Amino acid sequence: MGELLAILSAAFYGLAGVTIAKGRHDSKGDNGVFLSVVVTALLSFFLWKGSEATQQNVIAQEIWIVAVMLFAAAGLFSTVLGRITMYRSTELIGSVGASMTRRLIPIFAIPISILLIREWPVSNDLVGGLLIFFGVFVFCARRGQLELSKGLLLGIASAACYALSYVLRRAGLEDLADPAFATFIGAATGLLVFLGLALVANNPREKLHYMTIDRGIWPLCTATSLAIGQTLQLYALQTASVAIVAFIGSIDILFTTLFAALLMGDKNIRSLRFLLAILFVLAGSAFLV
């Protein structure tokens, strides 16, 4: 189940990459970054209130405060730092280019998980992950060189932030096993940070206007996709290792290409590289499952 949820999460992240690029041209503010945090907080709040698991765990476990702090820290690195850099990277180098930088998440996540939570990947994880990684590499090969630009650096920074958030969430879920609550705490942390930064800005009213002006179809699609993708990812982390979730997350570039073909007329889906990539991803997924 964890692997399936990770695949679905990658699909929604892939869709978000395309809708961010679509919304860039009509954007008058932050292209819906703040809106995406609001939607994530609302979705996870209603999912959490629909379950009594957290309330029972909070009463039963004294260690819940540590878990909440871990979820909040994960929210800072993903909902704030990771999401802002992902948006800006996508706007600068495009949806596929930004998605390529997300291939670095497993590279960051595996050593961080070993250092912080002593979670070592098993042989099946490595074999399956490498097959998925190779499939994505085959697809990305010869798609043009990405220069060391601001957009590329932001994409790399986003990958590092998301990798750290994976590990922090996994650590928190070991003590407080409620992904909806974890997502809500992370999103609520993001809301507080964004609002706090707006209030201390030189012109708070102008800053708040900048954060909330983009409410069109594409920012809303992006916000919904990211909210669902992030929530599914936390449910995946509850039952799958950080390595598995990170490797499966690498396939979001294939979903990005698929949705780009549907929404933007991208023809890469017809290429032989795309077919080979799919075959490697399926083989790698079989090992992981």
- Per DSSP, helices labelled H in the chain are 2-24, 33-49, 53-60, 64-75, 83-101, 105-117, 123-140, 150-175, 179-199, 204-212, 217-239, 242-249, 252-264, 272-288
Long-range Cβ contact pairs of 87-90 (< 8 A, separation 24 or more): 87/20, 87/30, 87/31, 87/33, 88/151, 88/154, 89/151, 89/152, 89/154, 89/155, 89/158, 90/17, 90/20, 90/21, 90/24
Q: At what angle do helices 242-249 and 105-117 cross, to 10 degrees?
A: 170
Tracing tokens 């912080």 back to the chain, one arrives at 116
Tracing tokens 């396939």 back to the chain, one arrives at 251
pLDDT attached to residue 117: 86
* DSSP notation for 257-287: HHHHHHHH---GGGSHHHHHHHHHHHHHHHH
pLDDT attached to residue 184: 93
Q: Where are the domains of the chain?
A: 2-121+146-241
pLDDT of the chain, 289 residues: tens digit per residue: 788 898 899 899 888 888 887 887 777 887 788 898 999 999 999 988 876 555 555 555 567 888 899 999 999 998 889 888 888 888 787 776 677 777 778 778 888 888 988 888 777 777 877 877 777 677 666 554 445 577 778 888 998 998 999 899 999 988 888 888 899 999 999 999 999 988 988 888 888 888 888 878 888 998 899 889 988 988 888 888 887 888 787 777 778 778 877 776 666 556 677 677 777 777 776 776 6
